Amino acid sequence: MSMLDRQPRATAPLLLDRIWQINWLLVLLLSAIAGVGFAMLYSAAGGSFQPWAEKQMLRFAFGLTGMILVALVDLRIWLRLAYVIYGLALVLLIGVEIRGEIGMGAQRWIDFGFIQLQPSEIMKIALVLALARYFHGLDMDEIGRPLMLLVPIALVFAPAVLVLKQPDLGTAIMLIAGGGAMFFIAGVRLWKFAAVLAFAAATLPIAWELLRDYQKKRVYTFLNPEADPLGAGYHIIQSKIALGSGGLFGKGYLQGSQTHLNFLPEKQTDFIFTMLAEEWGLVGGLALLGLYALVILYGFLIALRSRNQFGRLLALGVTSTLFLYAFINSGMVMGLMPVVGVPLALVSFGGTAMLTVLFGMGLVMGVYVHRDLELNRQGEVGTD
C-alpha cells in the first residue's frame, strides 16, 4: 500500500486512496483538544451549554468537515492558490483597516452576516501558504542570495504592520515568528538570522516609540504586574492566583472559585487555560499541553515524510503556527509572556481561530495524503 510505497509518484492518488490516507489519529487528537474546550466552555458558563459550548461544538463540527475536505484537495491546487489566498487575506486586512479607521478604533472583524471573519487569523495560515510556495520555488543556491529574501520579507511584514496597526500585538508576533520559522526551515543561513536579530535589537528603541501607550503599559505590566494590581496587572495577577491555587489535581470540574466568581475576566477566551489549570490542576494543564505536543509531533513527522518541499514547508509552517498559538497563550496566562491577544487554539471560544487552525490542519493532512508527490519548482508533477 501507499504507506510502504517509497517510490515517488508522478500523479496524485485517487480520491478513495486519499480518504484512506487521512490521519484519523490526528483527527482524534484534535477532537480531544476541542473536547477539552467544550468542557471548559460549559464550565465557564457555570454549567451550561449556553452561550459558548454549544456554538463552539457546531463550529467544530463544521470545521472538522472542512478540514477533511481540505485534506482531500490535490496539494497542487493549494500550491497554485497560495498567492491568491494570501492576496485575499491581505485585501481583507486592508479592508478592516479602512473600516477600523472609520469606526474610530480597533476593528478586527469583517461581518459576513453568518460569520464574523477575523482576517488577521486567516492571514496566519495564508502567510504560511505563500511562503511555502515561494521557498518551494527556490533552489538552495537561490536561497543563499540575500536579494531573493526581499520578497518573502515583504510577504511577512506587510500583514504584520497592518495587524500591528489594528492594534493586535499578539497576531503580529505570531506572523513574524511563524514567518521566521519558515525562513529557518527553508534553509536561510543562520548568520542572516543573527544579522536580522542584531538589526531588530538596534531598532528596538524606534519600534518601542511606535507602540501604542497601552502596549507599552502591557510590557511594563508584564515586567512588574504587582505595580498596577487593579489596572493592567489585574489579569495576570488573577490568572496566576487562579492557576496556582489549582494545585496538583485542581479544585474539581465546575469548582474553580476564582474563575466562577469572576475574578478572572475573559475566562472563555484568552484565559481559558487558567480555568482549566484551576479546575483540573497541574495534571489537567500538562495533559492539554501533552495533546498539543502530540499534534505538533505528528506535524513534524508528516513534514519529514513529505517528498516535496512545498508539503514539507507547509506542514512545518502550520505546525509551528499551532505551536505558537499554544505557547504564547499558555505562556501569557502563566506570566511568562506579556498579555497579548492570542487565543488557545481549538479551546478558546472564537470562530475564526478555530476554523483557521482546522483549515491549517487540513493542509497538513493533505501534505500527508500527497506525501509522495514530486513537484517541480513550478508546482507541476515531474522532475526538473
Q: Could you list the residues that contact other proteins (CB under 8 A)? A: 139-140, 181, 184-187, 238, 240-248, 257-258, 261-264, 277, 281-282, 285-286, 289, 292-293, 296-297, 300, 303-304, 307, 309, 312-313, 316, 320, 323, 327, 330-331, 334-336, 383-384
Q: Which one, 166 or 239, has the nearer CB to other proteins?
A: 239
Q: Is the backbone peptide bond immediately before 167 cis, with ω within 30 degrees of 0? A: yes
- Rounded to a whole number of angstroms, the minimum distance from the CB of residue 260 to other proteins is 8
Nearer to other proteins, 88 or 282 (CB): 282
- Closer residue to other proteins (CB): 56 or 348: 348
- Kindly tell me which of 131 and 242 has the beta carbon lying closer to other proteins: 242
- 317 touches 126 (CB < 8 A): no
Sign of the torsion formed by the C-alpha atoms of 293, 297, 300 and 302: negative
Question: How many C-beta atoms lie closer than 10 Å to residue 160's C-beta?
Answer: 21
CB 229 within 8 A of CB 237: yes
Nearer to other proteins by Cβ, of 104 and 230: the residue is: 230
Q: Which is nearer to other proteins, 217 or 307 (CB)?
A: 307
Cβ-contact 120, 108 below 8 angstroms: yes
> Least CB distance from residue 246 to other proteins, whole Å?
6
Minimum CB–partner distance for residue 325 and other proteins (Å): 12
- For residue 300, count other CB atoms closer than 10 A to its CB: 15
Decide if 232 contacts 238 (C-beta within 8 A).
Answer: no
For 381, phi and psi rounded to 5 degrees? -65, 140
CB of 326 to other proteins, least distance (A): 8
Which residues on adjacent β-strands are paired with residue 42? Answer: none
> What is the Cβ-side half-sphere exposure of residue 326, based on CA atoms within 13 angstroms?
21
**CB of residue 187 vs other proteins: minimum separation in angstroms?**
4
State which amino acid sits at residue 207: A
Name the minimum Å distance from CB 363 to other proteins. 17
DSSP designation for 205: H
Q: Smallest gap, in angstroms, from Cβ of residue 74 to other proteins?
A: 20
Phi, psi of 268 (to 5 degrees): -90, -10
- Looking at beta carbons only, is 60 or 135 nearer to other proteins? 135
Spatial CA neighbour of 194 closest among 206, 185, 184: 184
- Report the distance separating Cα 221 and Cα 90, nearest Å: 32
